[in-house]
Chain A
Amino acid sequence: MSDVAQAPAVPGLFDLDFYRRMQALVQSWVTLGEIPPARLPAAEDRAACERLLHAEARLIDALRLEDWLSLYTEDCAYWIPADVVGADPARFVSWEFNDRRRLEERVERLEGGRAFSQIPITRTTHIYSNIEMLTAGSDGMEVLCNFLIQTNLCGRVSQRAGWNGFLLRRTGAGWRIVLKRVSLFDADLAQHNNSFTL
């Protein structure tokens, strides 16, 4: 429970133990019933984490991706599975499984002016709802929420929906994101252009 909020053995570098911990975390989420009272967060922590998520969504929609990245820890992961059954990412392909380096590369690619998949850009409005929080040790927080992303690409309106699993950590600079796992409810089916930030 508390160990999942800890960094990988080497920051940013995913070893097999890291994948095992990711698997355990996802399994605990998909089998979760009611949140055990012992894991309900203090009101103050809950409010702080909620502010972080709202800022995260707002910065994506405003395309302020450098600022968005600053909300993530050095050992973070940004993960979009390609399945809806909680498959093991060490042996099953994802849409994306980014460490900090690859996340920075992703932002650099999108902001370099030549990423044709985002010329023109996909406009987005992120809605986070049904937010549930569980403490993970004294300085960790697990957050589950549903998301609805309204998009418009070249006049074509479409939506993305599903649930996010966040792992947050209390740092000297406030709460930061260690993991964002974007579980599209149709991740195993055909997806159109998802090269924006989900």
Chain B
Amino acid sequence: MNAIAEDTAGRYDRYFRPGYVHRDIYTSPEIFEQEMTHIFASDWVYVGHESEIPAQNDFVTRSIGRRPIILCRGKNESLHVLINRCSHRGALVCRQAQGNASRFVCGYHAWTFGNDGRCVGVPLSHAYGPDFDLASQGLRRAARVESYRGFIFASLNVEVPPLTEHLAHARRYLDEWIDRGDCLPVVVRAGSMRFETHANWKVIYDNAGDGYHPPFSHISMLRVFARRYGDVDMQYYSGNFDEAPLISRDLGNGHTLLDQRPSMHAQSAWERQHVMPGREILREDLNKHYGEARALEMLDASTGSGLNLNIFPNLLIIGNQIQVLEPMAVNRTVVHWFSTTLEGAPDEVNALRMRMQEDFPSFGEVDDTAQFEACQAGMEGVPEMPWIDIRRHMNTGAGHRGDDGIWTEPISSDQHMRCYLDAWRRTMNAGAARLAKAGADV
């Protein structure tokens, strides 16, 4: 190992102490730019769901970190992830959120690309001389694109391990989430909510696996439901809720899980759920058509999953929604909440799923967002207090390795942050080392 590589191998170690993380990783514009390269442009990143582009030539425009991309369905069900930057002057080639197109024509000089990225036309190309090679003018493509049961991930780094290896134990819980809906396929064409949040993307990732905050941050929501409906979903967050059957799990590679199912679903997820608009009458209608027992099975599929499955760096599965983090700047993130329906489920079930998927965003996420922005403001404003506390259950001996080999801690543990920040540190160190090596090779 040469001197430069040695120096950079642990470049990001300085932002960590046992039980603490330095505020710079949330507030430094330089580190944000480095993340866009070392993490978002080097690791597997979730880009969309297959059901969003069901037909040939369907596309959606998304991003990988700050890099704009086009996700398209090509011939023979193929999936393409194109960098949405014209090979000519750098303009965004596609400027629509979604559509159906076999070709993309840049609006500036009409350079034209197939939806597999090939350049298929350049107006007046004689002026580039006789050696001009159309084939070398294509849109850049993601180095790797893989779908895991409909969830499409892409990587700009050809050297990433296979997706299933990257997903590690998260794969099992992704399966459980996908298979939960009465054996019906999940469809992601029911719209989305987008929350603009004035906070670093990791402040939101921190929260996604934080089983300590619910009874405090969400007290306004929990009180209303307790007063009206009694011991319904999430009321188990009271007293010493670490003793409830609620767990935090380390799924590997920065992926984590909060599992609330044993408490949230108890005997029946539906019976435990508080009231949604239409609850009584839609249940009656289903009872009439299918009988009470079958109706109850279907209604269970309308309730929240009880899982918070966090797949580093940008995919957060919460309830029945697919939440995606889009980092915009060091202190600005757009949080996309894609809602889901079940293909082939009765309309009553999907209508209840819609009302359910509006419930937490409007009564809970808004309060979370206030905490995110408060954290960002406090961290940015007070440089003489740079350390952020992530010590919960670090030294209590409360963790254990499950029979399945997965390390498990009480729900209020900070192990989610410790785990994913360790993956963050390792990925960033590796990126810095790669960059240093490339520099040394020149």
Proximity string of chain A (115-133) to chain B, C-beta cutoff 8 Å, 1 when within and 0 when not: 1110100000000000000
Count of B interface residues, CB-CB < 8 Å: 46
> Looking at chain A, what size class is its interface with the partner chain?
35 or more
- Interface of chain B residues 213 through 227 with chain A (CB within 8 A): 217, 219-221, 223-225, 227
Min Cβ gap A79→B in Å is 10
| A117-B367, A195-B362 known; A14+B334 contact, CB < 8 A | no
Q: Which residues of A contact B275 (CB under 8 A)?
A: 101-102
Q: Which residues of B contact A101 (CB under 8 A)?
A: 275, 277
Asked if B341 is at the interface (CB within 8 A of a chain A CB), the reply is yes
Please determine whether A90 and B347 come into contact, CB atoms closer than 8 angstroms.
yes
Please determine whether B190 and A15 come into contact, CB atoms closer than 8 angstroms.
no
Q: How far is the CA of A126 from the CA of B225 in the complex (A)?
A: 30
Please determine whether A83 and B363 come into contact, CB atoms closer than 8 angstroms.
no
Asked if B266 is at the interface (CB within 8 A of a chain A CB), the reply is no
Asked if A185 is at the interface (CB within 8 A of a chain B CB), the reply is no
Please determine whether A91 and B196 come into contact, CB atoms closer than 8 angstroms.
no
Q: Which residues of B contact A94 (CB under 8 A)?
A: 191, 354, 358
Please determine whether A193 and B369 come into contact, CB atoms closer than 8 angstroms.
yes
Min Cβ gap B204→A in Å is 13
Segment of B9-17, B50-58, B87-95, B278-286 in the binding face: B278-286
Asked if B158 is at the interface (CB within 8 A of a chain A CB), the reply is no
Please determine whether A16 and B370 come into contact, CB atoms closer than 8 angstroms.
no
Asked if A55 is at the interface (CB within 8 A of a chain B CB), the reply is no
Asked if A163 is at the interface (CB within 8 A of a chain B CB), the reply is no
Q: Which residues of A contact B217 (CB under 8 A)?
A: 116
- Interface of chain B residues 193 through 224 with chain A (CB within 8 A): 193-196, 198, 217, 219-221, 223-224
Please determine whether B367 and A115 come into contact, CB atoms closer than 8 angstroms.
yes
Please determine whether B354 and A89 come into contact, CB atoms closer than 8 angstroms.
yes
Q: How far is the CA of A90 from the CA of B227 in the complex (A)?
A: 28
Q: Which residues of A contact B282 (CB under 8 A)?
A: 14-16
Q: Which residues of B contact A14 (CB under 8 A)?
A: 277-278, 281-282, 351, 355
Q: How far is the CA of A93 from the CA of B225 in the complex (A)?
A: 22
Q: Which residues of A contact B277 (CB under 8 A)?
A: 12-14, 97-99, 101-102
Q: How far is the CA of A115 from the CA of B370 in the complex (A)?
A: 10
Chain B, residue nearest A14 (CB): B278
Chain B, residue nearest A186 (CB): B194
Q: How far is the CA of A10 from the CA of B361 in the complex (A)?
A: 27
Q: How far is the CA of A191 from the CA of B281 in the complex (A)?
A: 32
Please determine whether B358 and A16 come into contact, CB atoms closer than 8 angstroms.
no
Please determine whether B370 and A13 come into contact, CB atoms closer than 8 angstroms.
no
Chain B, residue nearest A15 (CB): B281
Q: How far is the CA of A194 from the CA of B221 in the complex (A)?
A: 16
Q: Which residues of B contact A195 (CB under 8 A)?
A: 362, 366
Please determine whether A93 and B370 come into contact, CB atoms closer than 8 angstroms.
no
Proximity string of chain A (1-37) to chain B, C-beta cutoff 8 Å, 1 when within and 0 when not: 0000000011011111011000000000000000000
Q: How far is the CA of A98 from the CA of B282 in the complex (A)?
A: 16
- Interface of chain B residues 368 through 399 with chain A (CB within 8 A): 369-371
Q: Which residues of B contact A109 (CB under 8 A)?
A: 220-221, 224, 363
Chain A, residue nearest B274 (CB): A105
Q: Which residues of B contact A83 (CB under 8 A)?
A: 191
| A13-B279, A14-B281, A82-B191 known; A90+B219 contact, CB < 8 A | no
Q: Which residues of A contact B196 (CB under 8 A)?
A: 190-192
Chain B, residue nearest A94 (CB): B358
Min Cβ gap A106→B in Å is 8
Q: Residues of B at under 8 Å CB distance from A?
A: 97, 190-196, 198, 217, 219-221, 223-225, 227-228, 275-282, 285, 334, 339, 341, 347-348, 350-351, 354-355, 357-358, 361-363, 366-367, 369-371
| Inter-chain pairs besides A14-B355, A16-B285, 17 sampled, C-beta below 8 Å | A16-B347, A16-B351, A19-B351, A82-B191, A82-B193, A83-B191, A90-B350, A93-B357, A96-B358, A99-B278, A101-B275, A112-B223, A116-B220, A189-B194, A190-B194, A190-B195, A193-B366
A-B CB proximity, top 3 nearest: A117-B366, A93-B339, A190-B194
